Copies of this chain bind each other. A is one copy, B any other.
Amino acid sequence: MHQVEASARSGSKSAQLRAHLIGLIEGGLKPHDKMPTERDLAEQFGVTRLTVRRALDQLDHEGRVYRTQGAGTFVSEPRIAKSVELTSFSDDMRARGLKPGSLATKVAEIAAGAEIGAQLGISPRDRVTHIHRVRTADNEPMCIEHTYIPSHLAPGLAGLEVEGSLYDLLADRFHLRVSKAEQSIHATVLDPDLARQLDVAEFSPAFRVTRVAYDSRNRRMEYAESLYRADRYSYDFVIYRSSKDDRS
């Protein structure tokens, strides 16, 4: 049976509607302009208000629009916009208007060992594929990256050419799609050796980021440690007040 009709495919109706709304926002509307009402959008697109609300909810949480009960939905100022999103280094750099690249990629299959095994929830003797890269933005070093993938999830990965987005490659070749990740960010200073690799002065500030990524079946599929130059990198995002309080 064919997967999808021809027309405006993109998956769900709310996803299509979302795409259309983004068009509106980036097309004719200016910040603080009023968007059509939910009821109008529902009628106009022949969907329910709930469906409209789903699309708007997402845009709201992404910081692209804001809503006020009784008043309407409005376009946000660009400013920071975008909440924390899970993207690959490549996508991240492109979103910042920089050209992503890699230096000195090394790939090897090794035993996980105690720490990485613990992070990935596997035995220290299990095999993992270790990928070491110096990532560049506009051809300047941006970040030193160590990535570990359980080999049983991506057999033969060590033999492949790892170029560009690892996440794309894992999705294409092994049907491994990242769905969420736990990330931990520390501030640190670079010792002389690492500073040299990143082409900055000794003891420059840097971000040390560790990440455990999960696939769509909630299996840990990646452990990564990255060091970002602080002079070129920052975290910018929107956060929301959940509701009241439920610390229990």
Contacts and interface: CB of A to CB of B under 8 A. Distances in A.
Interface of A is mostly: mixed
Contacts of A214: 66
A85 interface: yes
A189 B203 contact: yes
Copies of this polypeptide in the complex: 2
A247 B183 contact: no
* Interface size range of chain A in the complex: 35 or more
A74 B182 CA distance: 17
A111 interface: no
A186 B231 CA distance: 8
Interface in A140-190: 177-189
Interface in A217-248: 217-218, 228, 230, 234-248
Contacts of A177: 241
Interface stretch (A15-23, A101-109, A128-136): A15-23
Contact of A218 (B66, B178, B184): B66
Given A66-B218, A246-B18, A184 B95 contact: no
A240 B179 contact: yes
A94 B181 contact: no
B19 A246 contact: yes
A145 to B, nearest CB: 17
15 contacts: A15-B243, A58-B242, A68-B217, A74-B218, A85-B239, A85-B241, A86-B241, A86-B242, A179-B240, A182-B238, A183-B235, A183-B239, A184-B235, A187-B228, A205-B205
Interface of A: 10-11, 15, 18-19, 22-23, 26, 58, 62-63, 66, 68, 74, 79-80, 84-86, 91, 94-95, 177-189, 203-207, 212, 214, 216-218, 228, 230, 234-248
